[in-house]
Amino acid sequence: MTRDTSYQAVMARRNEIMKTSMGLDYDVYRQGEIAFDYERMMNDCGFTLADIIRIQAETKVGNTPMFELHNLTRAVRKISAPGKGARIFLKDEAANASGSFKARRASISAYVAAQKGYKGVIAATSGNYGAAVASQAAQRGLRCIIVQEVFDSHGIGQPEIVEKGRKCEAFGAEVIKLSVGPELFYYLLLTLEETGYFNASLYTPFGIKGVESLGNELVMQIRNIAGKDPDAVVVTHAGGGNLTGTARGMLAAGCQAQIVACSVDLSGLHMASDHDFNRKSFTTGHTGFGVPFATWPDRVDVPRNAARSMRYMDDYVLVNQGEVFYITELLAKLEGIERGPAGNTSVTGAVALAREMNEDQIIVVQETEYTGAGKHHNSQLAFARKMGIEVRRGNPEEGVNGKSIVIPEHLSQVKGRRQDMEKLRISYLKNAAKQLAPDRWSAVDRDFVAADVKKDLKWLDSALKEV
């Protein structure tokens, strides 16, 4: 009998499809109406940190360089108050196979898929992760299908996304190219069901465990170079897996550095809007993902998201598009390395933060990503002009998302701004309250929610009065 492949029918079968495509039963971790056993879910992967490092070394992942950005640090000190201007270090994740830290996330999923006898892997992504999955699948002898949002309703694709799709195909993947809208998750489920392939989701425990090696590696390298731990680590934040995995790896190494999220501020643009789709110059690492995923992680293609950024986040810095494009150019001119603008989001945040820190302190930019014809900042800016966006030099704070990008004239104009962490936590509580009224939360639900926003029960009781 032929299965019903209508949207409603496929969505109704999603839990069954997910269980088959990963061999992971999320029901066993349920503890309350909201709570689940997060650490048990992570530990059930069965991989130690040593296992992760060994698996990744088999497929050209990990052991990436750590560079001190001497010239950028000197430039920051010139515009800082006396005694201010922390040493800036950069973890060059572009050295991974596929060119980004996403190779760490994909490596474990591809390994598990091969070990469990799946013939192929599937992932839904805007690009960098797709390239990573395709690269890892090629090395493990697996077939690969990437489901990718590429176009608006006029068939126009942003050059960065088109470039990422090209890279997926270069590694041998089949790319299903869609226009922006709700179809992405539907086609993912449909393709998983039809092929019987492994779901290499960004948000499984396998993906997050893969990033733990990055956090551990980062700490060990700074200790070796500087003889002490970093004071702050800046992580480009979108869906939360980058921050979660890095922070867990750092904690496993005994490092208590401040974990600072950094996103491009794209407020005013809707991520699922056909009109807005090509009026933003960043497809990841922005607030359109960073804020919703921080304030309610379980909005993904698996029942429970292993990426829970608020559990680990100490601060959150926002930068604008013009500031990131300026720092991308400056990194090339001062440090002689050309990297993709999205990965340079955290470099931009680090510059803003370093001005507030002492000269003897260390701030680490946790990742970079490769650049290419479509991902290059000049290509992105040319496309913005084509879409009617004004691009000019001046005060970056004057930029209006979807209408103008204002690139700084001087490094002193790169300032960033703080996101209100308390506001984010209250938003999380409001989202949790939509699942179940707080007066019906069990003790285990309350403990879980408090841990998920990195606060104690006293804070929770006080904050719930606002909800």
Q: For the domain that residue 106 is a member of, what is the CATH number?
A: 3.40.50.1100
| Total number of domains in the chain | 3
Q: Are residues 293 and 163 in the same domain?
A: no
Q: Are residues 340 and 377 in the same domain?
A: yes
Determine the pLDDT at residue 1. 55
Would residue 224 count as lying in a domain? yes
Query: Which ranges of 239-320 does DSSP label H, i.e. alpha helix?
Result: 241-252, 287-295
Determine the pLDDT at residue 302. 86
Point out the domain boundary residue: 205, 229, 250.
205
- The gap from C-alpha 109 to its chain's centroid, in whole angstroms, comes to 17
Residue of 372, 343, 362 whose CA lies nearest to 230: 362
Would residue 424 count as lying in a domain? no
Would residue 425 count as lying in a domain? no
Q: Are residues 262 and 337 in the same domain?
A: yes
Instruction: Give the C-alpha separation, 117 to 103, whole Å.
Output: 21
Residue of 30, 8, 1, 111 whose CA lies nearest to 303: 30
Would residue 448 count as lying in a domain? yes
- Tokens encoding 269: 């643009």
Q: Are residues 212 and 196 in the same domain?
A: no
Determine the pLDDT at residue 24. 86
User: Does residue 411 contact residue 327 with C-beta atoms inside 8 Å?
Assistant: no
Q: DSSP class of residue 3?
A: P
Residue 1 CB burial class (10 angstroms; 0-12, 13-18, ≥19): exposed
Q: Are residues 256 and 340 in the same domain?
A: yes
CA angle 242–180–401, rounded 5-degree value: 70
Domain enclosing residue 65, as ranges: 57-98+206-418
User: Does residue 353 contact residue 260 with C-beta atoms inside 8 Å?
Assistant: yes
Q: What is the largest CA-CA distance in the chain?
A: 76
Backbone angles phi, psi at 374, to 5 degrees: -80, -30
Instruction: Give the C-alpha separation, 109 to 208, whole Å.
Output: 10
3-class SS of residue 160: helix
* DSSP per position, 346-405: HHHHHHHHHTTSBTT-EEEE-------TTTSHHHHHHHHHHTT-EEEEE-GGG--TTTEE
Q: Are residues 239 and 278 in the same domain?
A: yes
Determine the pLDDT at residue 430. 97
Instruction: Give the C-alpha separation, 307 to 271, whole Å.
Output: 20
User: Does residue 112 contact residue 197 with C-beta atoms inside 8 Å?
Assistant: no
Instruction: Give the C-alpha separation, 295 to 144, whole Å.
Output: 32
3-class SS of residue 277: coil
* Interacting residues of 403 by C-beta distance below 8 A, sequence separation 6+: 389, 390
Point out the domain boundary residue: 152, 173, 205.
205
Q: How many CB atoms lie within 10 A of CB 268?
A: 13
Residue of 68, 90, 73, 91 whose CA lies nearest to 358: 73
Residue of 10, 166, 369 whose CA lies nearest to 177: 166
Determine the pLDDT at residue 440. 96
Q: Are residues 265 and 331 in the same domain?
A: yes
Q: Are residues 213 and 358 in the same domain?
A: yes
Q: Are residues 261 and 397 in the same domain?
A: yes
Q: Are residues 210 and 197 in the same domain?
A: no
Instruction: Give the C-alpha separation, 286 to 264, whole Å.
Output: 4
Give, for all 467 residues of the chain, the pLDDT tens digit: 578 999 999 988 988 888 899 888 899 999 999 999 999 999 999 999 999 999 999 999 999 999 999 999 999 999 999 999 999 999 999 999 999 999 999 999 999 999 999 999 999 987 789 999 999 999 999 999 999 999 999 999 989 999 999 999 999 999 999 998 878 889 999 999 999 999 999 999 999 999 999 999 999 999 999 999 999 999 999 999 999 999 999 999 999 999 999 999 999 998 878 889 999 999 889 999 999 999 999 988 888 999 999 999 999 999 999 999 999 999 999 999 999 999 999 999 999 999 999 999 999 999 999 998 899 999 999 999 999 999 999 999 999 999 999 999 999 999 999 999 999 999 999 999 999 999 999 999 999 999 999 999 999 999 998 87
Q: Are residues 24 and 138 in the same domain?
A: yes
For helices 205-226 and 102-115, give the axis angle rounded to 10 degrees. Answer: 130
Would residue 228 count as lying in a domain? yes
Per-residue b or e along 434-458, where b marks 16 or more CB atoms closer than 10 Å to that residue's CB: eeeebeebeeebbbbbbbbbbbeee
Task: Record the pTM.
Answer: 0.96
Would residue 1 count as lying in a domain? no
User: Does residue 307 contact residue 239 with C-beta atoms inside 8 Å?
Assistant: yes
Determine the pLDDT at residue 181. 80
